[in-house]
Structure 1
Amino acid sequence: MNKKHIVLAALLSVTSVVVSAKTDTAKLSLHRNDIKVWTYQTENNPVFQYKAETTFDVPLERAVAVVLDVERAPKWVPYVGKAQLLSRDEKKGEFILYMVLDFPFPLKDRDVVIKGKMSKNADGSISIKNQAIKYDYPEQPDIIRLSRYEGDWTFQKVAENRVKVSTSGYADPAGAIPLSFVNMFVQQQPYQMLMKMKKEVHHPLYKQPKLPDLLK
């Protein structure tokens, strides 16, 4: 597998925040340009969670290839400043990735070490599941290390050249973050990401996508 085709996975999805209220009801927070974003909480998790979905008029493989292309991630994933592969097992479809989130001043940047796994399901859909892990990677001055994060991607073929893309998850951003930024981040980041991805999937780089063997 080419180095640039590394699972970025839900790097793309560190968009949730700690709040006090708890509910099991998902709220459709945003529906625009064929993109839906829901926010919700569960009784067992105090962290605000989200789900976002849309469809692209490209083959499933092309959409997956975009998410796996770590080198271009900062071009279309809001707040991703750096993504670095630490290890991978191509046969198992597992990887460990380090990511830096570049937040606007005066907020401190965040970083996280993520373990992920990609798989092809019986129905032909492709999944990428991720979670933060403790890892022997040096913490950086003035960057807050995230310890609670989970994020998933699912790609489902709905027609010959049409794919449904869903992403969901949560993260405890740690530290003090203004409520105005929190509200914007949890709803707008998934929306902005999928809007930019709609353009990215048509980039010539992905005209003939090459996926890892276990996803074929």
Structure 2
Amino acid sequence: MKKVICMLCTVAVTAAVQAKPMDNAKLSIHKNNIKVWTYQNEQNPVIQYKAETSFDVPMENAVSLVLDVENAVKWVPYMGSVKVLSRDDKKGEFTLYMVLDFPFPLKDRDLVVQGKIRKDAQGNISIQNKGLKKGYPLHPNYVRLTEYEGDWTFQRLSNQKVKVSTSGYANPEGSIPLSFVNMFVQQQPYQMLQKMKVQLATYKPIALHDVLK
């Protein structure tokens, strides 16, 4: 493989403590074939999200785009840069270093993400990501995010249609107004899936790892 195949996590600023999936969920956005639910853990005032949509492309194309690091900055909101620290193609595991370009006057964030790719008996593909807290030096120019989890799932609806779901949370660290964080949580996954659709219209998929076959 000439291009690196790894996971782009959905880096949304969401809750630091994970709630049970869809507890107290509210459908916050429903337009352009995209749904975004938000929900809260009573122990944390910052909301979490789940978003889903469908694309008229083969499932492999959607998975390929999410695994194609070189295209990350084109469609993942606030993605400043991303690079591969390690990967194990046989196990479907990887480690990424990401820099998030937050709007002024907020300080940019960075994080180290450990990911795992799986395929179930029905052929659905999932990618699970978790922020690492130790083992990598802090950068003086960034605020390090360590409390992060994010998932993608891909379900084949037909040869030319795929359902894509993404969910997650993160502790944004530092001093960020709660109102900004909660607005960000609702808008970021919606914007990302919109941009993903645009990218898929002209995207040439890269070869997927054998674990996905």
Does the TM-score normalized on the shorter chain lie above 0.5? yes
Whether contact under 8 Å (2:46, 2:182) holds in the other structure is no
Tell me the distance in 2 between the aligned counterparts of 1:117 and 1:89.
10
Equivalent position of 2:14 in the other structure = 16
Tell me the distance in 2 between the aligned counterparts of 1:30 and 1:140.
35
Tell me the distance in 2 between the aligned counterparts of 1:111 and 1:142.
9
Q: Sequence identity, in percent?
A: 63
The runs of 5 or more residues in structure 1 that have no matched partner are none
Equivalent position of 1:42 in the other structure = 41
Query: What SS is found at the alignment partner of 2:47?
Result: strand
Tell me the distance in 1 between the aligned counterparts of 2:204 and 2:106.
34
2:106 pairs with 1:113: no
Quote the RMSD (CA, aligned, Å). 2.0
The runs of 5 or more residues in structure 2 that have no matched partner are none
2:106 pairs with 1:125: no
Whether contact under 8 Å (2:46, 2:181) holds in the other structure is no
**1:79-129 Cα shifts (integer Å, max 9, x gaps):** 010111000111100011111111011101111111100011111100000
Deviation at 1:182, TM superposition (A): 1.4
Tell me the distance in 2 between the aligned counterparts of 1:127 and 1:6.
13
Whether contact under 8 Å (1:15, 1:190) holds in the other structure is no
Whether contact under 8 Å (1:113, 1:135) holds in the other structure is no
Equivalent position of 2:31 in the other structure = 32
Equivalent position of 1:80 in the other structure = 79
Deviation at 1:15, TM superposition (A): 3.0
Deviation at 1:160, TM superposition (A): 1.6
Tell me the distance in 2 between the aligned counterparts of 1:203 and 1:75.
13
Tell me the distance in 2 between the aligned counterparts of 1:183 and 1:82.
24
Deviation at 1:17, TM superposition (A): 4.3
Tell me the distance in 2 between the aligned counterparts of 1:204 and 1:143.
32
TM-score (norm 1): 0.90
TM-score (norm 2): 0.92
**1:21-64 Cα shifts (integer Å, max 9, x gaps):** xx931111111100000111235766521100000000000000
